[in-house]
Structure 1
Amino acid sequence: MKLVVVSAGLSVPSSTRLLADRLAAAVDRTTPVDIQVVELRELAVEIAHNFTNGFPGRGLAAALDAVTEADGLIVVTPVFSASYSGLFKSFFDVLDKDAPAGKPVLIAATGGTPRHSMVLEHALRPLFAYLRAVVVPTAVYAASEDWGAEGLPERIERAAGELAALMAGPSAGRPARAGDGSEPAPEARIGAFEVVPFEERLAALRA
């Protein structure tokens, strides 16, 4: 499975990239994945040119293809003016609007103060809901004071586990139904929630 990490950090080193790497590593510990990182800082000029001429450069085209072909996404942005960064939004503006549809996405952000943590619910989650992505229940925000403190590692592990469960597919970890030789039940458990595909629910109602 292919996990693509989109990091909108601008500095080097970047706390945004650090959070992205920790989230990706936590997913890989749960379900081994092929990880590819897209650093938007390196694509800023190509993104701007794409807006003016309508054509992505080679690096941007490769990044857009990677996101489109991914089995799951981790997206991490620094907080600017109480929202996601302009570079982060610009990348998803040039991405084909159907590319994230139905794709599992873990949203995360970094900032200098805990007061910006609601950016996850007020900005990032609505954006990816509009793009028809499947956003995992747990979002991760890391303020400057969170690094090395209690709580952040647990949030990272919980969010990564939710993303890994969605990426692994609905039958991951489920035993086959006894006696019928069928495939494992098409269900998955995400945290405290059991996800059952609509087709199975509809079949059960018809029965």
Structure 2
Amino acid sequence: MKIVGVSGALAGSKTLQTVHEVLAAAKNINPAIETELIDIREYDIEFMCGTPLSYYNDDTQTVVNKILQADCLVIGTPIYQASISGSLKNLLDLMPIRAFKSKVVGCITNGGSSKHLLVTQYQLKPILQYLEAIVVAKDVFVHNDLFDVETAEILDNSVLRRIHKLAEDMLYLEGKFRD
């Protein structure tokens, strides 16, 4: 089984760190799992313009295909202006209809206001459900105050426990769906 993590941030390292933590927790639960972390900052992903995937540049095709080939996904995004990042929304717009059919997807977000706690419920999950993902019921929100300013390491043990639980739930659902 392969879990692909997607960090939907173009700036900073908090989102990348949160996605990495979920992948590490999943690997800790089951060392046989293959993981890959996609940091969209490392790719030149084109804006979606409604053409077939083959018309986009190599980076765009590579990222979309890595996501499509995954068995399971964890998607992370910072919350900007009470919304998911535009770069993540663009990436999701590039996905074909039914792209996530039979894929378990976990969500992890971070932001500077606890008022952004429900952005995942009202914005990200509906998109994932439209793409026919099996979305893990409980997501994880990490307030920016819970990161080390210099290293972006998560400082709060209760957040780390919730991340571990997210990884457990993803693996449980993946196993149940495959049985």
Tell me if both proteins adopt one fold, taking TM over 0.5 as the criterion. yes
Give 2:169's aligned residue. Answer: 162
Give 2:45's aligned residue. Answer: 46
User: Quick one: which amino acid aligns to residue 166 of structure 2?
Assistant: A
Instruction: Identify unmatched segments of 5+ residues in structure 1.
Output: 172-185, 187-207
User: Quick one: which amino acid aligns to residue 16 of structure 1?
Assistant: T
Contact 2:102 / 2:133 at 8 angstroms: preserved in 1? yes
| Distance (whole Å) between structure 2 residues aligned to residue 146 and residue 115 of structure 1 | 15
Contact 1:104 / 1:166 at 8 angstroms: preserved in 2? yes
Which whole-Å deviations, capped at 9, do the CAs of 1:61-119 have from their partners, x for residues lacking one? 11111111111000001111111011100001011122211210001111112221111
The answer on 1:120 being equivalent to 2:132 is no
Moved over 6 A (4+): none
User: Quick one: which amino acid aligns to residue 27 of structure 1?
Assistant: A
Give 1:90's aligned residue. Answer: 90
RMSD (CA atoms): 1.8
| Distance (whole Å) between structure 2 residues aligned to residue 154 and residue 102 of structure 1 | 26
Per-residue deviation, 1:52? 7.5
User: Quick one: which amino acid aligns to residue 23 of structure 2?
Assistant: A
1:175-190 alignment, distance < 5 Å:
186=179
In structure 2, relative to structure 1, the CA distance for the partners of 1:95 and 1:52 (3 Å cut) is closer
Contact 2:9 / 2:87 at 8 angstroms: preserved in 1? no
User: Quick one: which amino acid aligns to residue 20 of structure 2?
Assistant: D
Per-residue deviation, 1:3? 0.7
Larger Rg belongs to: 1
- State the structure with bigger RCO (CA 8 A, min sep 6), 1 or 2: 2
Tell me the matched-pair count. Answer: 169
Contact 1:105 / 1:136 at 8 angstroms: preserved in 2? yes
Contact 2:98 / 2:130 at 8 angstroms: preserved in 1? no
Q: TM-score, normalised by structure 2?
A: 0.86
Contact 1:137 / 1:159 at 8 angstroms: preserved in 2? no
Q: Secondary structure at the match of 2:162?
A: helix
Give 1:26's aligned residue. Answer: 25
The answer on 1:151 being equivalent to 2:158 is yes
| Distance (whole Å) between structure 2 residues aligned to residue 38 and residue 97 of structure 1 | 21
User: Quick one: which amino acid aligns to residue 71 of structure 2?
Assistant: D
Moved more, 123-132 or 83-92: 123-132
Per-residue deviation, 1:56? 2.0
Contact 2:15 / 2:109 at 8 angstroms: preserved in 1? yes
Q: TM-score, normalised by structure 1?
A: 0.75
